[in-house]
Structure 1
C-alpha cells in the first residue's frame, strides 16, 4: 500500500549508528520530543485517513486515555466496553476513575453487540468503547445511533483495523474518536506508538485537542544530555 512508504522518516530516526554516542543521545531526545520525522508522519497519516486532526502519542493506550478525557469521562462515570480485547483497551477507563460496564459480543464477529450495549445504558454512562476484533469493523451504524440517542461518546479502538473500511468509509469516519496503535506487532509499526483522531462529535472538543496538540515540539533549551552510552 502507498501509505507504508510514508513511515520511512519515522523508521529512519530509529536506525542510529551504534558507534556514535552523541548521535544516539540526540536520537533519543528526538524520540521523546517530536521532531520533523514525527510531524511528517502525522501529516501523511492525516492525509491517508482524511481527518483534519491527528495526534501521535507514545502508545495506543495513551490515545484511548486522551479520547476518554476529551469525552469528559470522570470519576464515577460508566463506560461500556468489551472484555474481548487486550487489557490496554480498558486500563485507560480505570485510569480516568470510571467504572467498566461489560457488554456482550456478537459470537460471529467478536465485536460488541449493539443490542447488549443498549441494555447497559444508565444515566451514568458517558461513553462506549468498541474494538474492531481481528480487524473486522464494528456495527457502527447501530452503535452510532445508540450513542447519539443517549448523547454519549463513541470511541473506537482500531488497533486491529488499520486500513479497514466500513461501508466504503475509512475506519475513522463514524466514531467520535478513533485510536490506532503502532506497537511492534501491528500492521504499521513505529516500534511503539499510537495516534488519536477526533472525528464526528469529537471535533467539538477541538479547543481542548489543540491545547494537547500544541505541546512542546522540541527539547527545552539547555536540557543536559545523559552522560555515557548504555
Structure 2
C-alpha cells in the first residue's frame, strides 16, 4: 500500500500553484472537477498498475466514491481563495481545508511571523489534524509557497515548529519560489527570503528552490512561448 501525502499551499503564490497542481492531479488520476472518478478507456489492468493509478496518496475517497484532496490552502486574506471557491474545482475541495483571514501579510516577514502566525495557528492546525487523522499511513508533507511574500515566508515559518513537533516521523518537502532581480513586486522581497531561509524553525527534509526568471527561461527555450502568464508558470511547477 502506498502511503498518503498532505500538500500545504501557503500565501497567494502557494494557492495559485495549488490551482495548477490539483488540476494536474485530477487529470492524472481520472478525477473530475466535482471529485467523481471518470471511467477511462485505458484504465490499468494489473494489480501493480492499479496501485500506481490509485488516487489514495493525494486524495481521500469516501464510500460514495467522492475524492477530496488531502490538502490545506492557507492565505491571510480571502481574495485568491475566493477564486478557488468560485472556480471550476469549487466542488473538489473540502471547505474546511480552505483557511483564510481578512488581512494580508503586507509583504512583511515580521508581520507574517509574529502577528499572523498567532492568528491563524488554531484554524490551520485543526484543518491539518483532521486531514492527518483520515490517513492510514501518512508518509510526508509537501509545502508550496513564496519566500518573498509576507504570508508565504513569515506565516509559514511561524507554523513550522508546531508541524515539526506533530509530525516527527514524516518527511517534509519544501517547494519554494525565491525572488529574482528581474521579477520583483516589492523591494523587501529579498529581506523576507533571507529571514525565512535562516529561520531556526526550518524542519524540511528536502528543499527545492525555484525563481520566476529561471521558470520563464525554461518556458521560452523549451516550449517556445513568448507570452508567458503566471498560470503557465504554475502549470510548469506542477509538473515537478
Report the TM-score, using the length of structure 1 for normalisation: 0.31
Structure with larger Rg: 1
Report the TM-score, using the length of structure 2 for normalisation: 0.30
More helix by share: 2
